[in-house]
Structure 1
């Protein structure tokens, strides 16, 4: 009789341990489901707010503002006057209004443009005053807003003087934005190691992976009712996925939306290589404590840059990832 009890105790102990293991698995699964439901709710709420005309040049705008643009004018095409193109450009790519970024002629870096740049006895970059202070600490630094002349230089396809390449800072002083961008980098470098030394070389396959991931993210967004637009980068190897808002929205809210969509993309395409994902721009929810260039945050290079646009770069792409025939229409 005693032996029977011992056997039953062992059996019940084994069942208990099995149930405890199942409990851990079930609790983990419940947590995953709750996380996914939160993501789906975020997407549903945001997609309702950003519903719009996805096939027009007003992609990403709310319906009422899209109608306002048409009523004001002006169907903008590549034959339209420069002023009409500038008006539409500012509506769509409106970042912080009091400052814009300029790409350095000597490399790939950008910095805030200054109204006192290269002015005699003022600009810290000049030889007569160089070394006194950094640009970010210069008392003569005056941010310069984007204007029609700069826009004209940016889209200019001829080689006149310095090649103007503009960037925008998405977050304004109140930490709101009118667009968000997902950046997929097709210029990844891989480390090649030998006995002598490790070297870095461009990963030639990264561009195709960036295209594949951008396409997957595009599909997730459109399936969720979030109307995005895809731009090919300046290098021609990466892609930017843009979402435009009709009004200023909190940067944190825009980032949560893209984070939810990105998580959904990864969940639905587990076999893809997501290493080409670089970042969302804006990169932070707030600039009040960022310390980046005095609290203006990260920048994004603006599309339609004339120098490389003539080769099919910094332009928007259709569903087949081919440049639209008329980028302005």
Structure 2
């Protein structure tokens, strides 16, 4: 190991220790240039064959080798893109050497996943070369059979994908995460790629992506909660009989001719030397990943969702109490809150950290996602987080049950809540109840009448409808 590499390792260790101190709110003194953790860029090492000293003059074989080193997924199978000439539909399917062979392939009568004659084709350097040359378009399955991965990718495909991707990359820079941004093959989205020096658990890689998204929402831009479902790999564990989700590989020749499927800078301008840029991208070590997660979360859960319980906590039947932290940045002295069918907050008065926290008060983990994942079932159609807040053009609306928690949040941050009650009383009718309540039902009614908002929780056959 040369001196520059040793220096880089020392800086990485120093950054990790700084993050630990800050996470535990321990004061420390350091030179100004070490206060903000930055990505560690080591100088080129000519003795390392995977780190060419002149990346702009790579041979075709070296380009393929570089590509396969970075975009590593399953090598025993790969998906290829297809497009129907009749319907115009397109998609990706695993490549099978027996596909459409007479007497062997029984499509569409038998699904490929149920076919005993299925013979999957392995990924080779020739196939990668043909992808780059434009002969076909292939993807990769990031999740390996042992539930690990070599990279993490984040997909941005909403209407504001440019702003979302730029905010995410800004967070990566702040957290010292070396990420590469690629405009997708359609030109209407982007992928942020984070590579690792060695395989890491998919769960840990996804925790990193989740932490960066939460960091972005809290400080820069409010990304949609669905962003947590746009991570590759999409699962912590391999689903039974499947390969996990796939992502299209970049740098295919045909979209590149239109300026798509290329890596870009923060202004979305493609780098002139794509291969030189890729050769300069440094994979992230496990130690740096742990440091970034800790720095982003402050030792809290990466999802940053209210009423959350750790998936792996020792006592899952005990719900962790909601911790309302004092939010960073300047907060308004007062806030107008309208109570109607929901609780409304004016967007123009909400700093990003406050807007983010309010939205997350009405969000929780989807138990069906974790139930399916624990059973190794596909989770592509199960959102990881369920959000109950509504995002209107000028207002953020929360369910009325969140009012007291929202008021507590405002109070903890020194914000006066100007509550305006615009609920509709409705029409009054005179009805007479002819039934007779049991003692326990009578007690429930007396208790319920003390509150405007609440939930009656009682066992089956209690008579909740009557109450």
Q: Which TM-score applies when normalising by structure 2?
A: 0.47
Q: 1:88 aligns with which of 52, 66, 91?
A: 66
Q: 1:134 aligns with which of 111, 114, 134?
A: 111
| 2:285 aligned partner | none
What's the CA shift string for 1:192-250, capped at 9, x where partnerless?
xxxxxxxxxxxxxx1xx100010000000111001000000111010100100011000
CA RMSD of aligned residues (A): 2.7
CA distance in 1, matches of 2:153, 2:252: 17
| 2:268 aligned partner | 321
| 2:199 aligned partner | 248
Q: 2:230 aligns with which of 262, 275, 279?
A: 279
Equivalent positions of 1:1-329 (< 5 A) are 52-53=40-41, 67=45, 70-71=48-49, 74-75=52-53, 77=55, 79-106=57-84, 107-125=89-107, 130-131=108-109, 133-157=110-134, 163-186=135-158, 206=159, 209-270=160-221, 272=222, 274=224, 277=227, 279-287=230-238, 290-291=239-240, 294-329=241-276
CA distance in 2, matches of 1:304, 1:122: 35
Aligned residue for 1:109, secondary structure, equals: strand
Q: Structure 1 69/327 Cα, relative in aligned 2: closer, same or farther at 3 Å?
A: farther
CA distance in 2, matches of 1:266, 1:141: 44
CA distance in 2, matches of 1:223, 1:325: 25
CA distance in 2, matches of 1:69, 1:280: 35
Aligned residue for 1:171, secondary structure, equals: coil
CA distance in 2, matches of 1:69, 1:299: 34
Instruction: Structure 2: give runs of 5+ residues left out of the alignment.
Output: 1-18, 24-37, 277-467
CA distance in 2, matches of 1:296, 1:268: 35
What's the CA shift string for 1:39-77, capped at 9, x where partnerless?
x96xxxxxxxx9643xxxxxxxxx69x848844573575
Q: Structure 1 241/120 Cα, relative in aligned 2: closer, same or farther at 3 Å?
A: same
Following superposition, the deviation at residue 274 of structure 1 comes to 3.3
What's the CA shift string for 1:232-277, capped at 9, x where partnerless?
011101010010001100000000111011001001135x463783
Aligned residue for 2:213, secondary structure, equals: helix
The answer on whether the counterparts of 1:76 and 1:328 sit within 8 Å (CA) in structure 2 is: no
Aligned residue for 2:275, secondary structure, equals: coil
The higher radius of gyration belongs to 2
CA distance in 1, matches of 2:81, 2:251: 14
CA distance in 2, matches of 1:305, 1:240: 14
Instruction: Structure 1: give runs of 5+ residues left out of the alignment.
Output: 1-36, 42-49, 54-62, 158-162, 187-205
CA distance in 2, matches of 1:309, 1:183: 19
How many residue pairs get aligned? The number is 238
Aligned residue for 2:169, secondary structure, equals: helix
Greater RCO (CA < 8 Å, at least 6 residues apart): 1
The answer on whether the counterparts of 1:184 and 1:276 sit within 8 Å (CA) in structure 2 is: no
Aligned residue for 1:242, secondary structure, equals: strand
Q: Structure 1 261/68 Cα, relative in aligned 2: closer, same or farther at 3 Å?
A: farther
CA distance in 2, matches of 1:138, 1:101: 17
Aligned residue for 1:142, secondary structure, equals: coil
Following superposition, the deviation at residue 116 of structure 1 comes to 2.2
CA distance in 2, matches of 1:218, 1:114: 37
What's the CA shift string for 1:132-188, capped at 9, x where partnerless?
x1111111112222112211221124xxxxx511111111110000001110114xx
CA distance in 1, matches of 2:186, 2:143: 25
Aligned residue for 1:111, secondary structure, equals: strand
Q: Which TM-score applies when normalising by structure 1?
A: 0.66
